Amino acid sequence: MKISLSEVLTLKQLGISEHCLAIENLHQEDMAKCVGALKQVDKLEAKKMADIVGGKVVDFEVNDATEWAIMMEPIRDLKIFFALQKYSPEFEDKVLTFYGKETNALGITIEDLYDFTRLCTNALVIASKKSCT
C-alpha cells in the first residue's frame, strides 16, 4: 500500500483552534517520549511490531529520513500513520503521525483523536520490546 503526503493530514490540520494547540503540544511531548523505544526498531522488526498491534507496514515516505511507516486502524476508517524519521547524527530522531483524509468525515473530536493516537503509540512501544527480542 503506497501512501503519499497528499493523502494524509496532521493533527494540527484536523483541529484549528487554540484548544487544538494545547492538544498538539501534548501530542508532540508523547511522540518525543516514545522515540527512544521506536528508533531501535529496524524495517524487519517494524513488520513484527505491526503484526503484534494489528497494524501493517505501509509504503509511506515523509522524506529521505523515513525508516519505516506503520498504519493502525483502531476503529473503522480511522487510519493513523506512524513514521519513524532517522535524522541522526545531525538532528534528533522523531516519530511523526498522520491521519487519513477520511478522518474529517468521522466526526471524532480532536480530544478523542488524541486519545486514540496515544493508545496506539503505547501499543507500538510495548510491541517494540517484543519485536526486538
Quickly state the pLDDT bin for 7 (edges 50, 70, 90).
very high
Pick the more confident residue, 131 or 99. 99
- pLDDT at res. 12: 83
Domain ranges of the chain: 2-128
- pLDDT at res. 71: 98
Residues in Cβ contact with 104 at an 8 Å cutoff, skipping those fewer than 6 apart: 9, 14
pTM higher than 0.85: yes
Pick the more confident residue, 87 or 73. 73
HSE at residue 105, side-chain half, CA atoms within 13 A, is 6
Mean model confidence pLDDT for the chain: 90
Nearest to 116 by CA among 55, 47, 40: 55
DSSP letters, 72-87, are E-SSTT--EEEEEE--
- pLDDT at res. 26: 87
Evaluate if residue 43 carries a pLDDT over 80: yes
